[in-house]
Amino acid sequence: MHACPQFVALRPTLSHPQRSVSLKNCSRWRPSITGFRRRRREASWAPGSCSRVRIPEAIAEPPEKKQERRGEGVYVSVYEPFVRQSDTVIRSGLNFGTSRLRIFGGSSTGELPDRVARYLGKEGTDRIIRKRFSDGELYVKLPESVRGCDVFLICSTCGPCISDSIMELLITIDAVKRAHAAQVTVVVPYYGYARADRLVEKREALSSKLMANLITRAGADRMILVDIHSPQSCGYFDIPVDHLYASPALVRYLMERIEQSSADTNHHGAARQLADLVVVAPDVGGVARARAFAKALCDAPLAIIDKRRSGHNVAEVMNLIGEVDGKIAVLVDDMIDTAGTICAAARLLREKGAACVFAMATHAVFSGPAIERLSEPGLFEEVIVTDTIPVPREKQFPQLRVVTIDALLGEQIWSIHRDSSISRSVVL
């Protein structure tokens, strides 16, 4: 039986002293509906519920590290994002900050939608009914009204049958739109067909553009994507697109991992181990991504692996540009599919004298022989991915670590809901 991976959760903290005033004595709020709406736009709203107006005092400090066991996985809270305290109003038991916020999760996205909903102070995702008829057709129904609500659909287009997850997403968008939601934001942690973003040969389909057209025509008003294969593909959409990077969560986990390792061994300090880091791009196309990681990791040196691809899902490592002898090599990529590229790169790094090799990727596609290759003894110290794609038990192996991006998505969703900037929320 394979060992379960470790999960790294980013959780908010709301334990900060706040001043409170009663709604009755607060001169900012008047019976005028127009004035209320105007002041609602001006105020800063925060997830959660309360019975008073809460006025911000300061930014909460990150709490201490903690561990808690949930189910089979071990969640290690390595970082608590700064949570900006803000005004929250309840009138007659109705939370005007979150009453219009609805979060629905796709069946192919695992537990990530529930984590995001809990991050925003909700008990979980809102209810949705899905059924499959005997002929294979999908049925979607919203049991509760979403009229005038700000709706977020969190659905990765992945799974055993990617076509089913796409159809489920499109049907859900249509159901929400026909239920008169004020705005429909589609959150796609893993965007299927993202690699079909250009025409390599004649008479090929441009599937990435087709996906954008389908989602737009279904009724989506806005998109949130995470580490899409080619950021230029965001231009295929005719609606606003927010492209997020999972690098903040991955970098923070690696920093905590290095600090923990130095504390356990008492041999090298964390600063010394950070100095021994080298970030490696597994191919020339990943240089920009690797450079961003290197800058975040205290301006670590950069190495590049030149590869020649002879066919689909087949890669051959040719040359290493850079020095890795005695270093801690960190391979960075956007996804791990069959793991041919990243495993061949790891073998080359071992041959060139790397002390240990970490693999970091946002999307754990893990198709074909990926698990067998990644779990090879002595090849990787750790394989670090995020939960944009759920990893089933049969695909788990001892070196696997899964970092949740619930805080990343939660901050983005809340910023869109409040019509505020995301720049303060996503910081390396």
Q: Residues with catalytic annotation? A: 307
Q: Which helix (H) or strand (E) holds 70?
A: strand 66-70
Buried b (16+ CB within 10 A) or exposed e, 281-315: bbbeebeebbebbbebbeebbbbbbebeeeeeeeb
Amino acid at 38: R
Looking only at the bridges linking them, the beta strands covering 66-70 and 6-10 are unpaired
Query: Which residue bears the tokens 């087709």?
Result: 210
Contacts of 224 (CB under 8 A, 6+ apart): 185, 186, 187, 188, 241, 242, 244, 409, 412, 413, 416
Chain centroid, CA 198 distance in Å? 25
Spatial contact of 225 and 188, defined as CB atoms under 8 Å apart: yes
Looking only at the bridges linking them, the beta strands covering 19-21 and 400-403 are unpaired
What is the three-class DSSP state of 328? strand
Chain centroid, CA 143 distance in Å? 28
